[in-house]
Amino acid sequence: MTQVQHAAAPSPDTSDASGAPQPAHLSTFGDAPWQQLSLLTKGLPLLPGETSAHARDISARDLNLLAGDLPLPAAVLKDSALEHNSRWMRAFLARHDVALAPHGKTTMSPALFHRQIADGAWGITAASVQQAAVMQAFGIRRVLIANQVGDPVAMRWCFEALRADPGFALYVLVDSLEGVARLDRIAREVPSPRPLSLLVELGVPGGRTGCRTIDAGLDVARAVAAAAPRLVLAGVEGYEGAVPGHDAASKEQAIRDFVAAMGELAKRYAQERLFAADPVLLTAGGSAFFDLVTGLPRTLGDRRTLVLLRSGCYLTFDDGYYRQLWSRLAERTPGIAGLGEPLRSALEIWSSVQSVPEPGLAILTMGKRDVSHDLDLPFPRWRVHEGSRDLQPAPASWRIEALNDQHAFLRGDPDAMPCVGERIGCAISHPCTTFDKWRTVLIVDDGYTVVDAVSTWF
């Protein structure tokens, strides 16, 4: 398979005088290829005859959303929220002695990946080989595919990438003897000077992928060890979000039991000397329950471990699903109050009022093509009257009732409805299914002046 290669941008200096890592502004990545933008995508300035620009050039144009400089709808990220969330997560990781490989499926944005790496991330998590290929092509040097890889083309890519790129580290999940055998067959067909690192996935009955029992997990790990040097066992993986529960309390206890089972499986592997990695990777922890994963063991006999969380939504957060889960996280882990203000919602979708066809109803210029709607509909937060730059809170009566492909139905008190031409800013729920609707997302300061932009590669 042909490799798409891009030179990795040099890592910017992100340390202060004390040597502590600091947030890296995206413009520090200079001429990085992932910062070249197409001006033919929605949300970017309409400039006849100009089809592309570098992100730094967009920021130099002094564009302001509140001033009406951007075509709507537009997706924006608040720079102050990104920086706050980065600082918060770094403090959480240090407090609990864990590392982070944020799930890249949330944003699929190389610029944000590199921001997270500059913030100290161990690597980036992918859900598929296609996502891993994007990450490798744009200079991410360590990728964990938190999934099984079973397609022959995808399996071949794994070994070809290891062979063609000596500085690229790749980790893949496995949960069956058949999976090990198929990977080993491809490894023989595509010889690589380096082995493919595998993590055995532990699952739960009725859940997603993963070995259902400790004994099944042992059989898979023994098969991996027997396939050395083509395959090596690097750790144990699980996804706690798939663990069932009748209510919040029972689910959380079931997750604690699941995490303990992951630790027990890793202990059995260490006793049988099946691991070929040092440190051993123990990884779980999505965006909803990452605090419960910090209890994984830090040593396994004479083996060190690296507990690796995979929260993908911490950087942008939201005002819906994850905001609702935050109160439970704070109750489970009271010590996080010492980390300061909780995570902030960074992602907003802005549209304009297109029509007010009847009392209590306004039609906005955004729809299912622009904003997530799988968990919650967007939430009106801000209004800006036409001809004004004054940001005002949206009335409490406003709500998005429905979405069409390109329209949103905003209902509210007939005496407090917006006028045609007003701009409306909405918060969202579930950033994962909002990012995939945008090829470019603008980054704005607290006054909504554009300071940067990022591309996505879904």
CATH number for the domain that contains residue 341: 2.40.37.20
3-state secondary structure of 199: strand
DSSP 3-state of 298: coil
How confident is the model at residue 29, as a pLDDT? 54
* pLDDT, tens digit (0-9, with 9 covering 90-100), for 144-153: 999 999 999 9
**pLDDT tens profile 394-443:** 999 999 999 999 999 999 999 999 999 999 999 999 999 999 999 999 99
Among 21-25, 176-180, 351-355, where is mean pLDDT lowest?
21-25
Do 67 and 157 reside in the same domain of the chain?
A: no
Claim to verify: residue 148 and residue 249 sit in the same structural domain = yes
pLDDT of residue 395: 98
User: Are 151 and 293 contained in the same domain?
Assistant: yes
Per-residue pLDDT tens digits for 267-288: 999 999 999 999 999 999 989 9
pLDDT digits (tens, 9 = 90+) for 322-379: 998 888 888 898 888 899 999 999 999 999 999 999 999 999 999 999 999 999 999 9
What is the spatial distance between Cα 303 and Cα 319, in angstroms, rounded to a whole number?
41
Tell me, yes or no, whether 132 and 279 share the same domain: yes
What is the average pLDDT across 389-397? 97
Whether pTM exceeds 0.75: yes
Confidence of residue 57 (pLDDT cuts 50, 70, 90): confident
User: Looking at the structure, do residues 294 and 376 belong to the same domain, yes or no?
Assistant: no
Least confident of 42-51, 202-211, 302-311: 42-51
Distances (CA, A) of 397 to 146, 151, 161, 367, 393: 42, 50, 54, 20, 11
Lookup result for tokens 């009406």:
68
Q: Is the pLDDT of residue 16 over 50?
A: no
- Last residue of a domain, which of 265, 293, 310? 310
Q: Are residues 322 and 353 in the same domain?
A: yes
Residues 6+ apart with CB under 8 A from 365: 72, 73, 351, 352, 353, 354, 406, 407, 408
Do both 227 and 256 map to the same domain?
yes
Q: Looking at the structure, do residues 241 and 379 belong to the same domain, yes or no?
A: no
CATH of the domain at 184: 3.20.20.10
Q: Does some domain include residue 248?
A: yes
Residue (of 428, 426, 413, 417) closest to 362 by Cα position:
417
Domain count of the fold of the chain: 2
Do 149 and 292 lie in a common domain? yes
* Segments forming the whole domain that contains residue 401: 1-13+26-81+318-458
